[in-house]
């Protein structure tokens, strides 16, 4: 299936048979798992970006229709989970000062909220193709829009958790003023870059898992274990500076390691991310976007057959 563009054939000789406008012509041919014409694909994708946005908004709306309490679980769920993990860490560590306690809570909260975004994005994105079956069979459109929509939906669920973090820590500091938490600092300027890397990494991974899920429908089950192990391998419940020697690789080899450790360093320690972390997250973002995009886009024309 090749959607050829007719850039070279723009000129129709006048006086002869009228030929079709190349822009309107689509040609579908046999394909081997290679990429389609990316120029056409991406312009199609860009033209329908609003669809992703609205699909995210509508599916969010449909999920929580008539349930105001339902939506508050989006914040309550990670918040309560954070408290559980906080207790766990506290017990393992055998207590400690109040100040150290609040610092740990801060790290777990923001780390978990951020990790939750990636987890939601990947889980939801992985299901987006198989659950979008009817839409896919009725219309032809770039299917990458569906995982993108999952990412936007997860983003909307992530955004309200950030003020929650600030409120919890702000209140905590009223009682424990000596805790070493710097919420607002100059290093906040690094936030947009870190978050963009987070979005791209999560999107790239969701493309990979969405593709696998089309071929193996139990990928979702496997994903629950993968994400759990992944959480423990990410500096959420521990901080990355406790790792010595080659163990430091755990943070770098983990696609989210550098992002989460940068988020904590910005919002808890008030420090800029280390250049090592910035490099690692940039490389991961580029790598996963290319790999995820290639795997997904080169296979997506087969998805309709397998749904």
Point out which residues bind another protein (CB under 8 A). Answer: 1, 3-4, 6, 9, 17-21, 24-31, 44, 47-48, 50-51, 54-55, 58-59, 61-63, 65, 134-141, 215-219, 222, 301-302, 304-305
* Minimum CB distance to another protein, residue 88 (Å): 31
Give the residue with the Cβ less far from another protein, 24 or 275: 24
How near is the Cβ of 49 to another protein at its closest, in Å? 9
Contacts of 182 (CB under 8 A, 6+ apart): 268, 269, 270
Residue where the block lists tokens 């969405």: 210
User: Is the alpha carbon torsion for 21, 23, 26, 31 positive or negative?
Assistant: positive
Judged by beta carbon, residue 141 or residue 193, the one nearer another protein is 141
Q: Please tell me the distance from the alpha carbon of residue 273 to that of residue 188, in angstroms, as a whole number.
A: 10
Nearer to another protein, 25 or 88 (CB): 25
> Minimum distance between the CB of residue 224 and another protein, rounded to whole angstroms?
13
Whose tokens are 């991310």? That residue is 273
The total of other beta-carbon atoms located within 10 Å of residue 184's CB is 9
Sign of the four-CA dihedral 276, 111, 212, 286: negative
Residue length, the chain?
307
CB of 32 to another protein, least distance (A): 10
Instruction: Name the minimum Å distance from CB 279 to another protein.
Output: 34
Residue 44 or 99 having the CB closest to another protein: 44
Closer residue to another protein (CB): 11 or 178: 11
| C-alpha dihedral (96, 100, 101, 104), degrees to nearest 10 | -130
């Amino acid at each position: 299936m090749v959607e050829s563009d007719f850039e070279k054939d723009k000129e129709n000789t006048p006086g002869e048979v009228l030929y079709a406008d190349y822009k309107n012509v689509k040609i579908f041919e046999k394909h081997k798992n290679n990429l389609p014409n990316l120029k056409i694909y991406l312009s199609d994708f860009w033209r329908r970006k609003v669809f992703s946005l609205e699909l995210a908004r509508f599916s969010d709306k449909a999920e929580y229709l008539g349930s105001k309490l339902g939506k508050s679980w989006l914040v309550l769920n990670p918040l309560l989970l954070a408290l559980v993990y906080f207790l766990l860490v506290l017990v393992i560590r055998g207590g400690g000062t109040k100040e150290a306690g609040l610092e740990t809570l801060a790290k777990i909260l923001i780390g978990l909220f951020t990790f939750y975004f990636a987890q939601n994005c990947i889980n939801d994105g992985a299901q987006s193709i198989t659950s979008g079956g009817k839409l896919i069979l009725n219309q032809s459109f770039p299917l990458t829009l569906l995982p993108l929509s999952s990412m936007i939906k997860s983003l909307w669920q992530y955004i309200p958790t950030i003020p929650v973090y600030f409120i919890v820590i702000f209140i905590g500091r009223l009682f424990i003023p000596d805790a070493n938490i710097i919420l607002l600092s100059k290093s906040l300027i690094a936030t947009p870059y870190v978050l963009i890397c987070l979005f791209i990494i999560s999107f790239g991974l969701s493309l990979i898992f969405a593709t696998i899920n089309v071929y193996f429908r139990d990928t979702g089950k496997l994903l629950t274990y993968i994400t759990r192990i992944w959480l423990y391998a990410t500096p959420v419940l521990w901080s990355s500076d406790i790792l010595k020697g080659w163990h430091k690789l755990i943070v770098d080899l983990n696609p989210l390691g550098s992002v989460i450790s940068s988020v904590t360093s910005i919002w808890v320690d008030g420090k800029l991310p280390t250049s090592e972390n910035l490099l690692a997250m940039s490389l991961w973002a580029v790598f996963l976007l290319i790999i995820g995009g290639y795997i997904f886009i080169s296979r997506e024309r087969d998805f309709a057959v397998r749904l």
